[in-house]
Chain A
């Protein structure tokens, strides 16, 4: 009761939030960090189930479960889902949770962009995973999607667009982290006193901004390859 009272007193200018407002419209770095981590765990299980299909088929010689083309789709999708859906959002989720706490900032520097950069991801992955249910199946061009083999997948355009979306999300997340680290440190927290986690995220964010446009350009050029 006492806690409730203090809480109300502290947050008296906030209207009570419903579930939708709390989780979908959130600008709170901890809530968004939690969303990132839950999303990452979900993708980890989806990507893991693809790996289980691969391993179940390889369990003994001969073909028992899936056609070779579907096997190749599983390989490509496993890689894309695990890298863009599990590893990267897990790091961004931890960054969202920990960086403001570690440098003494009240929130991320750009909280609304933070919300947008998370909510792009579910749409991007819905688009990419939906290719498995399309005629012709998902992308089956190895995990690096190298041409000309990857051009034989009917769903390549979907995957390219999904990767563009993931890249936009990553770039916005990286900008947010750089802006937070460079502008929102508490007095006395100079760069050389920052925890190594924050330093590693600062470097990673710069690398992401450098790399993502190149990746986007590369996957876009896949569509320009002369068709055979």
Chain B
């Protein structure tokens, strides 16, 4: 029963919908953390707002001059000062404690069962599968760029209707790619995120975090997806003219389906030495092949 509810909630909240007022809860084991922290901070703000603006309203309405209000003579009250210093300190300490807990659990990538390397390029993403369940993966990696229909529609003066770019019932204008990142559910996945040119940021809202992809620096983050589905995101750091046109699509599948998919990819990438594409590229541009990042997984 709980599983069914969780599944339903996860699918319903994966994408924002009209009149949605709060953030999405996300679909991973960790994504509830920022959701919870935001709700706590928002609750504190609402209570403070009601008290402060309420006090102001009462002061201005009930004690206005036209009602004959006479100012009190005293100007200092030590008890009040102690109270309104102590309460904010307690609130801040509670918020800092909760937020630190969230950051620590966010940064803890130990015990990951899988590693995926994410590289930002102007203006596409590259995904390299490094290892899965303790076994290194060789030569499974690909570029993931904006799908052809979105790309055609987004050209200046294309005359095409962005609302007509759909995947099933979902409008996926600028939110779909040619090759999505396929990931297994119920697996702790470590991402190592970097960039080849300028700063990008890898952001899938359903995971509850984003991580900058910085050239020369490798950042890490992790996720453990609970609900199978397709999760969409975008580059979240201005990276040049096509910054808005390098979306992220994650397809989360069951572990069995993922194992099948992975086997197929490994098979496709390790053919006989005379495979035409590999031979052509290495003969034409040995330097390019040598410098291609993640070329050998």
Residues of A within 8 A of B (CB): 61-69, 72, 140-142, 146, 148-149, 152, 228
| Majority DSSP secondary structure for residues of A touching B | loop
Structural contact, B162 and A140, CB atoms closer than 8 A: no
Structural contact, A148 and B157, CB atoms closer than 8 A: no
User: Which residue from A64, A65, A67, A146 sits with its C-beta under 8 Å from B241?
Assistant: A67
Q: Across the two chains, which residue of chain B brings its CB closest to A146?
A: B199
Q: Across the two chains, which residue of chain A brings its CB closest to B153?
A: A62
Q: In the complex, which residues of chain A have a beta carbon less than 8 angstroms from the beta carbon of B199?
A: 146, 148-149
Q: How many angstroms between the C-alpha atoms of A149 and B237 in the bound complex?
A: 10
B44 located at the interface, meaning its Cβ lies under 8 Å from any Cβ of chain A in the complex: no
Q: How many angstroms between the C-alpha atoms of A66 and B155 in the bound complex?
A: 10
Q: In the complex, which residues of chain A have a beta carbon less than 8 angstroms from the beta carbon of B198?
A: 148-149, 152
User: Which residue from A63, A65, A152 sits with its C-beta under 8 Å from B240?
Assistant: A152
Residue of B162, B173, B241 ringed by the most chain A CB atoms within 10 A: B241
Residues of B within 8 A of A (CB): 153-158, 160-163, 173, 197-199, 215, 238-245
Q: In the complex, which residues of chain B have a beta carbon less than 8 angstroms from the beta carbon of A142?
A: 238
User: Which residue from B155, B173, B240, B241 sits with its C-beta under 8 Å from A61?
Assistant: B173
Structural contact, A140 and B157, CB atoms closer than 8 A: no
Q: How many angstroms between the C-alpha atoms of A67 and B157 in the bound complex?
A: 10
Q: How many angstroms between the C-alpha atoms of A152 and B197 in the bound complex?
A: 10
Structural contact, B197 and A148, CB atoms closer than 8 A: yes
Given contacts A63-B156, A146-B199, A228-B197, 7 further A-B contacts (CB under 8 A): A62-B154, A62-B158, A63-B155, A66-B156, A72-B238, A72-B243, A152-B240
Residue of B173, B215, B238, B245 ringed by the most chain A CB atoms within 10 A: B238
Q: In the complex, which residues of chain B have a beta carbon less than 8 angstroms from the beta carbon of A149?
A: 198-199, 238-240
Structural contact, B240 and A140, CB atoms closer than 8 A: yes
Q: How many angstroms between the C-alpha atoms of A140 and B122 in the bound complex?
A: 14
Residue of B156, B158, B161, B163 ringed by the most chain A CB atoms within 10 A: B156
Q: How many angstroms between the C-alpha atoms of A140 and B242 in the bound complex?
A: 12
User: Which residue from B156, B162, B163, B239 sits with its C-beta under 8 Å from A67?
Assistant: B156
Structural contact, B157 and A68, CB atoms closer than 8 A: no
A-B contact pairs, 30 of them (CB 8 A): A61-B162, A61-B163, A61-B173, A62-B160, A62-B161, A62-B173, A63-B155, A63-B157, A63-B158, A64-B156, A64-B157, A66-B156, A67-B156, A67-B241, A68-B241, A68-B243, A68-B244, A68-B245, A69-B240, A72-B240, A72-B241, A72-B243, A140-B241, A141-B238, A146-B199, A148-B197, A148-B199, A149-B238, A149-B240, A152-B240
